Amino acid sequence: MANPKPRPPMAKPNPLDTLIDLARNDADEAAKKLQLLTTERHSAKEQLSTLHVYRQDYADRLQKATLDGMSASNYHNFRQFIATLDEAISQQNRVVAQIDLKIENGKKQWYAEKRRLSSFETLQARQKRQQAVLDNRNEQRSNDEISAILFRRMGNTH
């Protein structure tokens, strides 16, 4: 039975690669949350716009009905309904403001994650440059040693 062919040594995992993967995942997750918040804000703004249109429609109806003549109870009902719409608009404005605050915090979180990722990538690039310099020096030493050996051999044969 022949000896199995030796495997080349496995490159040891770089902890920086793991940190970069984790930071990238965190940045992606922060971006997804930010996108969801942006979608939520868009929806909230659409609801707010609908409430404004609805309120304006009822205000126009009230004005027309007042010109045409209406009972006091109908007038009171219109005013009460418009007041309810005003409260809904006010509440929806608060919802939009809360979402805006969440978006601002989400942006800060995303920027922080991107900076963290960038820092790790910068460290990795520096580490690779340093390793390349070491590899070049080692290769130069090997070449120098081989040249010296060949030179000595040639000196012994002449």
pLDDT in tens, 3-37: 555 555 556 778 889 999 999 999 999 999 999 99
d(CA 79, CA 110): 46
What is the predicted pLDDT for the residue at 70?
A: 84
pLDDT band with cut points at 50, 70 and 90 for residue 58 = very high
Residue 71 has a pLDDT of 87
Q: How far apart are CA 26 and CA 103, in angstroms?
A: 17
Look at 70 and 102; give whichever has higher pLDDT: 102
Over the range 125-137, which residues count as b (16 or more CB within 10 Å of their CB) and which as e? eeeeeeeeeeeee
What pTM did the predictor assign? 0.70
Share of the chain above pLDDT 70, in %: 91
DSSP 1: -
Q: Do the beta carbons of residue 96 and residue 44 sit within 8 Å?
A: yes
* DSSP string across 83-97: HHHHHHHHHHHHHHH
Please determine, for residue 147, whether its predicted confidence score (pLDDT) is greater than 70.
Answer: yes
Span 50-62, average pLDDT: 94
Ranges assigned E (strand) in 7-124:
none
Matching residue, tokens 């022949």: 2
Rounded Cα distance, 148 and 142, in Å: 10
CA distance 119 to 113: 10
pLDDT tens across 74-104, in order? 889 989 999 999 999 999 999 999 999 999 9
